[in-house]
């Protein structure tokens, strides 16, 4: 007899279950239920997850919206690539573009004021990671994700791509200034 051919007269599901196995099955079931109910609880009470909206879009439509905001609210340019620094009015919709291998534009926001941040990718899947705030959002082409942000500390925040997007992935760094 081997493990590949079980005994012919024994059917495994007719065998009695040991008491220890029943205790482990009960513990796993109880823990699974606790964790299932904790997810919505922490979303509402603990404010652990971002509430967001998502819409279908195309790169052309999204880029037109982002360009309109940049054209209207640019206050200066920065870095060797001449990135626009955009200072939108409080409460407005701001559009951040992810594309190989940059976050465009740079935003200058006010502390303790809310903005509706729109995110979309022009080409591949990217990961929006706002540091040091530790906010992580998956950014996909064809979708416009909207998140309400209220910066509560002044400073310079870095936007890092945390989804591998090609050979220049390590250079995909953006900025948000909060004043």
pLDDT of residue 55: 92
The answer to whether 108 and 85 have CB atoms below 8 angstroms apart is yes
Q: In what helix (H) or strand (E) does residue 54 lie, and over which residues does it extend?
A: strand 52-56
List of the chain residues with pLDDT < 70: 1-10, 47-51
127-142 pLDDT per residue, tens? 999 888 878 899 999 9
pLDDT value for 48: 62
Q: What is the pLDDT of residue 7?
A: 61
Q: What is residue 2's predicted lDDT score, i.e. its pLDDT?
A: 57
- The residues, ordered by sequence, that sit 6+ positions from 1 with a Cβ below 8 Å of its Cβ are 7
- The residue ranges of every structural domain in the chain are 52-178
What's the pLDDT score for residue 3? 62
pTM: 0.74
pLDDT score recorded for residue 9: 65
What's the CA gap between 139 and 88, in Å, rounded? 22
Considering only CA atoms, which of 135, 139, 108, 109 is closest in space to residue 124? 139
Q: Is 52-178 a CATH 1.10.1040.50 domain?
A: no
d(CA 108, CA 75): 9
């Amino acid at each position: 007899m081997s493990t590949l051919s079980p005994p012919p007269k024994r059917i495994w599901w007719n065998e009695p279950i040991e008491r220890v196995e029943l205790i482990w099955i009960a513990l796993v079931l109880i823990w699974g239920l606790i964790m299932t109910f904790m997810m919505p609880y922490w979303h509402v009470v603990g404010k652990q997850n971002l509430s967001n909206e998502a819409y279908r879009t195309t790169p052309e439509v999204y880029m037109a919206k982002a360009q309109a905001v940049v054209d209207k609210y640019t206050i200066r340019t920065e870095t060797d690539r001449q990135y626009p620094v955009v200072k939108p009015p409080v409460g407005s919709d701001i559009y951040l573009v992810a594309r190989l291998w940059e976050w465009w534009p740079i935003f200058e926001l006010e502390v303790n004021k809310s903005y509706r941040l729109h995110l979309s990718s022009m080409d591949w899947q990217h990961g929006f990671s706002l540091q040091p705030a530790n906010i992580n959002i998956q950014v996909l082409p064809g979708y416009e994700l909207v998140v309400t942000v209220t910066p509560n500390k002044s400073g310079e925040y870095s936007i890092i791509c945390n989804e591998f997007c090609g050979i220049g992935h390590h250079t995909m760094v953006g900025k948000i200034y909060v004043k």
